[in-house]
Structure 1
Amino acid sequence: MISIQVKQLTKQFGNVVALHGLDLTINPGELFFLLGPSGCGKTTLLRSLAGFYIPEKGQILFGNEDVTRLEPHKRNTGMMFQSYALWPHMTVAENVAFGLHERKVPAEEIKTRVAEALASVKMEKYAERKPNQLSGGQQQRIALARALVIRPRCLLLDEPLSNLDAKLRLEMRTEIRRVCKEFQLTTVYVTHDQKEALSIADRMAILESGHILQVGTPREVYKRPTRKVVANFIGETDFLTGKVLSVDGDHVFVETTVGRFQGVFGDPTRPAAAGAEVTVSIRPECWELHRDAERKNVVTGRIGDSIYLGEVAQYDFVTANGTKLKIFERNPRFVDGSARGELYATVEPEDVVVLTD
């Protein structure tokens, strides 16, 4: 297992700066995700790690080795592309063995390592088939085996599940995590799929316009976004504009357009003083609906449109001043029209995230 360090990495394409002096440390054996909207720089960073792009400034370290200007084939990374890039005229076994032949590995060792790699992804029965005889999920497993067979120092995955249907994506999420942990591989995984990242990542980085906005575990990034763009990108949220009334230790009191809230700063290193304009972020599932108001952080309103999904209902909650809030209620009680009327939506202070950007 190796660590990966990126130090002040800058990459340009003509006059366009794709990466702006990035600093990032990925721990040995970590399954690390790069997320962000199209054009944010996540694929540029991944291809820089692979050696396909040479940065204008900065360093890339694999362990203690500086690989910034090392050729891709000398970095010993396993790369898995979105398209899988399997050779159609080769059998499964020949596709997996391709990288070993290029490295002049002895024939008997190639045979052993190909068999081990196919077994690790549960595809040993398909060794003599051609790629066009496999399903999308099976092709994905073969591409993964090909990346693993060279025994890479790290594994680089570029949106590997984007071509699969929803059911296969769910299955392969678990499979990729199992393989990465079984082989103790430091893995960097690019995706725009938030659920994919939240479900299997050890940690993740959110990028925008070539900058890293936040790094943390899935729970940290989801529960405590440090910026509005992060809260908006990862999951759904209600945003309310407000003004800081006071700060008391870890808690901040904010007056918003729908009422007064007690909450916490998303980024404790950038607190705001009394009088500052801020944005409050509250996840829809954090709200609770009640018939009485004997609680903190209370908003009065009525249910407008609703969508019943069995275990959960999604409401448009219309407040007294006409503001619409998204509220998700588990084990729904208020979907029946006869039960509607004035209700009170409440939220715990730790779920009220105050953003100062």
Structure 2
Amino acid sequence: MSTTLADARVVTPDGVHEGWLTIEDGRFTHIGRGRAPGAGVGLGGRYVVPGFVDIHTHGGAGASFPSGDQEQARRAAEFHARHGTTTIMASLVTASIGDLTRVTSALAELCEDGLLAGVHLEGPYIAPARRGAHDPGQLREPSPGELSGLLKAGRGHVRMVTIAPELPGALDTVRAAVGEGVIAALGHSDATYDQARAGIDAGCTVATHLYNALPPLHHRTPGPIAALLEDPRVTVELINDGLHAHPAMLRLAVAAAGADRTVLVTDAMAAAGMGDGTYRLGSMDVEVTGGAARLTEGGAIAGSTLTMDEAFRRAVQEVGLSLLEAAEMTSHTPARVLGISSHTGSIAVGNHADLVVLNEDLTLHQVMRRGVWLPTP
């Protein structure tokens, strides 16, 4: 079956143009400029951007990936899909090795089903001083052997692990992860500039939510943020919810690293799409007030209630980025990080028909995943 979407402003890797596109068997087959040949579904001049790829998400719609409950995982993934995230990786939080093994194995089944693009272990190998909303009683020193067991439970679907490079055993664990084809991310770290450089040299290629849970930039002690921004081998995550980082700091990151090395993520937890109240993130209680999620005890920021459509809109309207930059940071760059940019992350002939239709004010209109329209939120 063939579907043509006409009268659209299509955001492709080479720019934004008025035109049309055709979808057959769940893939883009034709992308044209101007008037579409023959009849088509008119979009009234709306924007069409590639489906969003979120590489850091803990849950949504009251459901949590760290719970290990497959029904909850499905509910969270479908919630984010309706907000434009057509590709999602499930992020876990620090827990016991037994719990992480169980949850990783359960989520690996959903990766095999195609619902999830992988599993991200955001702990337990992180610095106590920069733990954020992670359970301090479950933090551990990195261990290649222990990580190997978690990777085995994931059956090839653990795609990323966050490690603080200054911890004992960290650099060997980074090398072990990379040797198994897993992305090593530097984050939740109290590293010096030199320690961060050592982590990057060992194989860290992603910065877990840059600025957050890291020492701040300082002109005499630059710390890990400077090391991460300046190194062309590293892609940096940013949470663009107006709480985790000021728009000026997002502009700084993009100016330093470029849209091709910058990824917008939600870091969303179960409260995304829900009202204010008390929720759980792993073993920790979280209070959400005015959409801001903080630990009930201590008040540390505990993920977000962000969705990717909002992150995209903020990138253009508040940060001042172009549509092309925003699309790169929410789709193509994260797809490249995951190694799947050959079939998703951009509107290009042959790619999966994953797309988001946005109104003039960049609010969500419709979402298509693999050529199928999804229910609107």
Check whether TM > 0.5: no
How does the TM-score come out when normalised to structure 1? 0.31
Q: Which structure's relative contact order is higher, taking Cα pairs within 8 Å and 6+ residues apart? A: 2
Which structure is larger by alpha-carbon Rg, 1 or 2? 1
